[in-house]
Structure 1
Amino acid sequence: MTEQLLDILNKTSYQQFLFFSLTSQLFRFISCTQKKSQQQRRKDSSELSPLSPPSSQVQETQYKYLPLMTKAIKDELDPKWQECKLLGKNYTPRSNSAIAIHDNHLYLYGGYQQAEGILQDFYKLNMNGDSYFWRIIKCEYEPGPRCRHSLYAYKSCLYLFGGQIADSISTNEIFVHDVNQRFWKKLEINDSYPQPLDSYSSAVYSDKLFIFGGFYTSDICKHSNELYSFNFNLNNWIKLNRSKGRQPLPRDASSIAIHNQILYMFGGKNGDIRFNDLWQFDLSKQEWNSIPICGSSDIPMNRSGHSLVAYEGQLVLFGGIHDITWELDDLLTFNISKQEWKTINQDTSRRKDMEVPSPIKSNQSPQSKRKSVKFTPIIRPFNLRKSSCQSPKKVRSFTQSQQYYFPKSQNVIMNEAHKKHDSSIIPSKNHVQERRKSDCLKKKAAMLKLFDVETNKRDSFQDDCNITEKLKTSILLIGNPKQDLKLAKGTLTEFGKQIISKFILPLCNGKNVISGKKPCARDGHAIAVLENQMVLFGGDRHTMSFNDLFILNLSQI
C-alpha cells in the first residue's frame, strides 16, 4: 500500500516538473521575441526619421512657422493698429470715460459701466514703459463720479469739466489736478460758465478748451448747439456763436477737431435722429459754414459717439453707432483741401449683411427647370390646384409634393369622388404644421411660466457683473500669456497646418503690443493724441463695455 502511494506521488511530481519547465521555456521565447521586435522597431524608426531635435531647434521651428497663420487672421490684421496688452489685474470695463496725455503718461478718469454705474476711479499709464499697466492714483479730495465728461492736459495740470454725476443729473463744475503735487482743486464758477452739461464734444487748441453741443439737464432738459471756449491762463469762459446766423442743429455725442484756426464738427444725434453733416467754424470770424460733400466721395454713415482728430491737413474719423445694436468699426479720412471723404477701412460689424448668397450647386438643377408631370383636372384633386394656405412663406402642401397615378379603370370612381369632394377630407401639410407649431408654442409658454420671477425679487438672482463681462475678462486672461507660452501653443497638426489663435499672436517691439490688431466696433470710446499716434481706450457695444487700449499710427493712413 505504501509503495503504491509513493509511486503515485512520484508520477504527479514528475508531471508538475514537466509542466513548469515547458511554461518557463514558453515565457522565455515570448520575451525574446518581444525584445527583438522592440529593437527592430527602434531600428526601423531611426532609419525612417531623425532623432528628436533639441529644445533650441524646436524653438527655431516654432519661430519659423509663426508667420504661417491662417488666411482669416491675416485678412483681419491691419498694420496701422496696435493693441496694448495690459499687465496686472483687469479693472472695470467702461465707456464714456475721459483720457489725457501728459509727459508720455496716459491719465484716465471715470466712465460708466452698466453693472457698476458711474465710476470715479483715477489711473495713469506710462506709454514709454517696457510694459503697460495701470496705476491707481489716490487723492484726499476728488471730483467724484463722472461720465460723459472731458479731461485735458495743459502745462503741469489736468482739467476736468462737466459730465454726468448721477441719473439725469449733470454738472458744470471744473476741476484742476496738479500732476506733480497730486491733488485736485475746484475752480470758482463765474457768470460766463455754461449750464450743467454732458455728452458734449471737446478739443484743445493753443491755450484754450473748446466745447460744442451736449445735453443740458437741470431745468432746461434740451440739446445744445452752443460753442464755448475756456482760457486756461485767464480762467474764464466765452460764448462764441452769439450771432443767430446759419449754424448746426442742436445735438449731443458729436465730435470736433481744430486745424489752422478752423473748428470742424461732424455727426451727433438729437433723440433718435443721427447726423452725418460736416460743419466748420472760423475762430477768427466766429461764424458757422456747412461743408458741401462731393457726390463721388465716400460719405460716412449717420453716427454718434464716434471720434474725430485732425492730422496733417485731414480729419480722421473712427467708429460710433449708426443705429440701435449697430456699432461701427470703419475708418475714414476727410481731405480738407479737396473737401472730400475717403474710406480707409470699411465697416465689418455686419459681415452677414454683406455676404453674397452661395450659388446653386452644380449637381442640383434649378427648381424652375425641374420636370413635373401634369395631371388632368379630372384626376388631380381640387386642393392641389391652389394651396389653401396663404402664408408669405408659400410652403407647399403635402399632396403638392407628390405625383399620383391612377389606372384607367378608376377614372369613373375618381370623377364621382371629385364631384363629392370636400376640402376638409384631405388636410394640407400647412394645417398640420401650423397645429404642431401652435402646440409647441403652448408647451413653451407653459414651461416658461415655471421660471417666472416677481419683479421685486429679480435683483436677488442677478449677479454683480454681467455674463458678457465675465466672458470678456476670461478671454483677456486667456489671451495674455507670456512670450514663451505664445510660442509653445503655435503647434503643427498632422496635416502640416498651423493652429494659432487670434489671442496668441506674437508680441513685437519688446513691449506687450500686438501689431495689426484693430479694435472691434464700438461707440463711447475715449481718445487722445500723442505726436503721430491716436490712443483709443474703452467704449461699449450692445451695452458690453471694454477696457482695452489701442494705438493708431496716423502717419500710415
Structure 2
Amino acid sequence: MYSNRSQQQRREDSIILGPVSPTDSQTQESQYKYLPLVTKAIQDQLDPKWQECKIKGKNLSPRSNCAITIHQNDLYLYGGYQSAEGILKDFYKLNLRAEYFYWQNIKCEYEPGPRCCHTLCAFKDSLYLFGGQIADSITTNEIFVHDVNLKFWKKLSINDSYPQPLDNYCATVYNDQLIIFGGFYTADTFKHSNDLYSFNFKLNSWIKLNKSKGRQPSPRDGSSIAIHDQILYMFGGKNGDLRYNDLWKFDFSKQEWHFIPVNSLSDIPMTRSGHSLISYQNELVLFGGIHDITWELDDLYKFQINLQEWKMINKDTSRRKELEVPSPTKSNRNSFNKRRSIKLPSFVRPLSLRKSPCSSPKKVRSSSQSQNSCFYNNQNGLQRCDYKNNNSSINTTINYVQERKQLQKFKKKEAMLKLFDVEINKRAIFQDDCNVTEKLKTSIILIGNPKQDLKLAKGALTEFGQQIVSKFLLPLSNGQNTIHGKKPCARDGHAVAIFDNQMVLFGGDRHTMSFNDLYLLNLKQF
C-alpha cells in the first residue's frame, strides 16, 4: 500500500531526522588536522638519489637470485627463485629509454631451463648465462649463449677447463672475459669455494687465476665483486653461518690477492651476504644484503679507493634500537623491587641487555645457594643480594620478562592509536555515535587518496591537492615512468647493473617475501 504523504513531506522528514552536518570550517579542520603526519610520513621516505620505475601492463612475478644485464638500451632478465613457484625459467627485456617501462617476454624454441643463483652478462651482441641451480640442491656448469639479434639460445660444449658445477657465486665482465669468484660446489665435494676463474668469450676456455698459495680470501658464497682500473675488489659473503665484512683486491698483472686494511673503523659496513657491489669512477658502491637471520639491510655505503676508507651514505633503517628496561608497575611491585640501588643479576635482566650469552637461569643458579639470595659479579668482585620474599629468582625472571614484553606491546599500540586521536577540547565537534566509525573516518583522511579540489578556508591548495597514492607511496613528479625519491626497502638476493650514471636494481627478498620492483640509483648524487 502506498503512503498518502507527498514527496515534499518525506524530504522534510529526512532533513529533520538526519544528523546535523558540521560547518565548513569544522569539516576542513577535521580533514586537514592530520596533514603534518602525512607530510612527515612522506618526507621520511624521501631520498633524491633513488627513483622507482613504474611498470606499465603486467609486472613480473616476484623473485630473488635472478640475473640481469644491460645490452645497449635494454635490460635483460632471466630466471630467479620464488618460494611459491620454485625456480623460474622466464626470459624478459625492458627498454630503459622508453617513455613507459614494460616487460617484454622473449620466447625461444630452445631455452636453458630453470635457473637461480646464476649470472647473465653481455658481450658484443650476445648474452652469456653460466651455472646456477637447476633444481633443489642440483647445480650446473653449463654456459648458454643468446644471440640478441637472431633471438635464439645455443649451448656451448663443455671441456676439461670448465669449473665444477657452481652456484651462488659472484661475477663481472673484464675486457673480453667473464670473471667469477667463490660460490658453492655441489657436484661431489659440497664445499664453499674461493677460486677465481676467467672465461674467455672468444676461446670458450676457463683459466684459474689464483694459482699461487699466498694469502687469499677464505672460501665463501654470496659475496660480490667489482673491477676498477684493472683491479678486482671483493667484499663480504658467508661460509655457513659465518658472514664477512672484509675487503680484498686482486691485481690482474701480478695475479695476487691482497687484503685491504681500511683507514677508518667507524664506517666499516656490517658483515653480510647477498649484497651488491659496483664500481663507479673512483668509488665502490655497496647496498643491502643480509646481516643475520631475518635481518636484511637497506644501508648504502661507498668505498673511496684513493683514501682507502668506507663512508656511510644511508644508515640501515630495518631495525630500531631496543627500548630501555621500564620500571615495574605499582601493582606488581614487591619488597624485592624496592631495592633499586642493587644491580639486577645478569639472568634477571632481559636478554637484549646482557653483555654476553648466558645459559638458562636453572644452570646459573647453584643448588647450594639459598632460596632467598643470589650472587653476581661486578667491578668490585662477588656480591650478594638477599630477597625478602619467598619466590624463587626463576619465577621472578619469567614474570619480569613477560611484564616487559606486555608493556612494550601496550606502548606500540598507544603509539599507533595516537595517530587517530583527536584533541580533548575538539572531540565534541567530530563525535560520532560509534567509535569504530570515527576511527575509520580518520584513517581514510590520513592514508586515503583525497580529491584534487579540496581547499582550505583561505583558498590555498594543500598538500592533498597533489596526487597521493597512499601514505606509503610518494607523490608522482617529473615524468610518467618513475616515482622520484622512493627508495627500496631492506633486502638481499637482488640483482644490479649499471646503465649510464645509474645503478639498476631489481627484486630480491626479505624474510622469504620476494619483490618484483625496479629502482634506479643516481650515482652522481653522492
Q: Does 1:247 align with 2:219?
A: no
Q: Does 1:130 align with 2:99?
A: yes
Q: Does 1:533 align with 2:502?
A: yes
- Against the structure 1 CA distance between its residues 396 and 229, is the aligned structure 2 distance closer, same or farther, given a 3 Å change threshold? closer
Distance in 1 between the 2:327 and 2:394 partners? 26
Q: Does 1:211 align with 2:180?
A: yes
Is the contact between residue 69 and residue 500 of structure 1 (CA under 8 Å) also seen in structure 2?
no
Equivalent in the alignment of 2:47: 78
Q: Does 1:111 align with 2:111?
A: no
Q: Does 1:544 align with 2:485?
A: no
Q: Does 1:301 align with 2:270?
A: yes
- Against the structure 1 CA distance between its residues 294 and 49, is the aligned structure 2 distance closer, same or farther, given a 3 Å change threshold? closer
- Long gaps (5+) in structure 1: 1-26, 39-44, 51-61, 362-366, 371-383, 398-432, 434-484
SS in 2 for 1:391: helix
Distance in 1 between the 2:503 and 2:393 partners? 57
Equivalent in the alignment of 1:388: 391
Distance in 2 between the 1:486 and 1:154 partners? 46
Distance in 1 between the 2:326 and 2:485 partners? 30
How many residue pairs match? The answer is 413
SS in 2 for 1:131: coil
In terms of fraction of residues, the more helix-rich structure is 1
Alignment of 1:396-435 (within 5 A): none
Q: Does 1:511 align with 2:514?
A: no
SS in 1 for 2:394: coil
State the Cα deviation string for residues 410-432 of structure 1 (Å, max 9, x = none). xxxxxxxxxxxxxxxxxxxxxxx
Is the contact between residue 486 and residue 504 of structure 1 (CA under 8 Å) also seen in structure 2?
no
C-alpha displacement at 1:504, in angstroms?
4.8
C-alpha displacement at 1:390, in angstroms?
2.7
Distance in 2 between the 1:385 and 1:241 partners? 68
Equivalent in the alignment of 1:140: 109
SS in 2 for 1:244: coil
Equivalent in the alignment of 2:426: none
Distance in 2 between the 1:318 and 1:120 partners? 26
Distance in 2 between the 1:72 and 1:264 partners? 38
- Against the structure 1 CA distance between its residues 225 and 508, is the aligned structure 2 distance closer, same or farther, given a 3 Å change threshold? same
Equivalent in the alignment of 1:257: 226
Q: Does 1:327 align with 2:327?
A: no
Aligned CA-pair RMSD:
4.1
Equivalent in the alignment of 1:449: none
- Against the structure 1 CA distance between its residues 509 and 300, is the aligned structure 2 distance closer, same or farther, given a 3 Å change threshold? same
Distance in 2 between the 1:490 and 1:521 partners? 36
Is the contact between residue 151 and residue 161 of structure 1 (CA under 8 Å) also seen in structure 2?
yes
Structure 2 counterpart of 1:279, from 248, 270, 277: 248
Distance in 1 between the 2:35 and 2:399 partners? 53
Distance in 1 between the 2:244 and 2:273 partners? 8
Letter in 1 for 2:393: Q
- Percent identity between the two aligned chains: 66
Equivalent in the alignment of 1:339: 308
Q: Max radius of gyration: which structure?
A: 1
Distance in 2 between the 1:168 and 1:523 partners? 20
Equivalent in the alignment of 2:432: none
Equivalent in the alignment of 2:128: 159
Is the contact between residue 199 and residue 214 of structure 1 (CA under 8 Å) also seen in structure 2?
yes
C-alpha displacement at 1:392, in angstroms?
5.5
Letter in 2 for 1:391: I
Equivalent in the alignment of 1:472: none
Equivalent in the alignment of 2:285: 316
Is the contact between residue 469 and residue 475 of structure 2 (CA under 8 Å) also seen in structure 1?
no
- Long gaps (5+) in structure 2: 17-21, 26-31, 330-336, 341-386, 403-447
Is the contact between residue 161 and residue 175 of structure 1 (CA under 8 Å) also seen in structure 2?
yes
Distance in 2 between the 1:286 and 1:395 partners? 58
C-alpha displacement at 1:307, in angstroms?
0.2
TM-score, normalised to structure 2, is 0.70
Letter in 2 for 1:106: L
TM-score, normalised to structure 1, is 0.66
Distance in 2 between the 1:309 and 1:155 partners? 21
Distance in 2 between the 1:312 and 1:356 partners? 44
SS in 2 for 1:71: helix
C-alpha displacement at 1:172, in angstroms?
0.7
Is the contact between residue 224 and residue 251 of structure 1 (CA under 8 Å) also seen in structure 2?
yes
Letter in 1 for 2:57: G
Equivalent in the alignment of 1:5: none
C-alpha displacement at 1:237, in angstroms?
1.5
SS in 1 for 2:245: coil
SS in 1 for 2:232: strand
Equivalent in the alignment of 1:6: none
Distance in 2 between the 1:491 and 1:77 partners? 24
State the Cα deviation string for residues 136-170 of structure 1 (Å, max 9, x = none). 10000000111000001111111111111111111
Distance in 2 between the 1:220 and 1:104 partners? 41
- Against the structure 1 CA distance between its residues 392 and 167, is the aligned structure 2 distance closer, same or farther, given a 3 Å change threshold? same
Is the contact between residue 123 and residue 134 of structure 1 (CA under 8 Å) also seen in structure 2?
yes
SS in 2 for 1:91: coil
Letter in 1 for 2:122: A
Q: Does 1:222 align with 2:191?
A: yes
Distance in 2 between the 1:235 and 1:244 partners? 26
Is the contact between residue 201 and residue 254 of structure 1 (CA under 8 Å) also seen in structure 2?
yes
Is the contact between residue 112 and residue 153 of structure 2 (CA under 8 Å) also seen in structure 1?
yes
C-alpha displacement at 1:236, in angstroms?
2.0
Alignment of 1:345-360 (within 5 A): 345-351=314-320, 353=321
C-alpha displacement at 1:86, in angstroms?
1.2
C-alpha displacement at 1:497, in angstroms?
8.1
Distance in 2 between the 1:183 and 1:487 partners? 50
- Against the structure 1 CA distance between its residues 232 and 360, is the aligned structure 2 distance closer, same or farther, given a 3 Å change threshold? same
Is the contact between residue 297 and residue 340 of structure 1 (CA under 8 Å) also seen in structure 2?
no
State the Cα deviation string for residues 108-130 of structure 1 (Å, max 9, x = none). 10001111111100011111111
Which has the higher mean CA deviation after the structures are superposed, 253-262 or 511-520?
511-520
Letter in 1 for 2:317: T
C-alpha displacement at 1:344, in angstroms?
0.7
Equivalent in the alignment of 2:416: none
SS in 2 for 1:185: strand
- Against the structure 1 CA distance between its residues 504 and 523, is the aligned structure 2 distance closer, same or farther, given a 3 Å change threshold? closer
Is the contact between residue 476 and residue 484 of structure 2 (CA under 8 Å) also seen in structure 1?
yes
Distance in 1 between the 2:72 and 2:453 partners? 38
State the Cα deviation string for residues 276-326 of structure 1 (Å, max 9, x = none). 110000011110000012344411111000000011111100000011111
- Against the structure 1 CA distance between its residues 505 and 67, is the aligned structure 2 distance closer, same or farther, given a 3 Å change threshold? farther
- Against the structure 1 CA distance between its residues 525 and 491, is the aligned structure 2 distance closer, same or farther, given a 3 Å change threshold? farther
State the Cα deviation string for residues 355-411 of structure 1 (Å, max 9, x = none). 6789999xxxxx9799xxxxxxxxxxxxx94242433646999xxxxxxxxxxxxxx
Distance in 1 between the 2:36 and 2:100 partners? 24
In terms of fraction of residues, the more strand-rich structure is 2
- Against the structure 1 CA distance between its residues 271 and 71, is the aligned structure 2 distance closer, same or farther, given a 3 Å change threshold? same
- Against the structure 1 CA distance between its residues 152 and 317, is the aligned structure 2 distance closer, same or farther, given a 3 Å change threshold? same
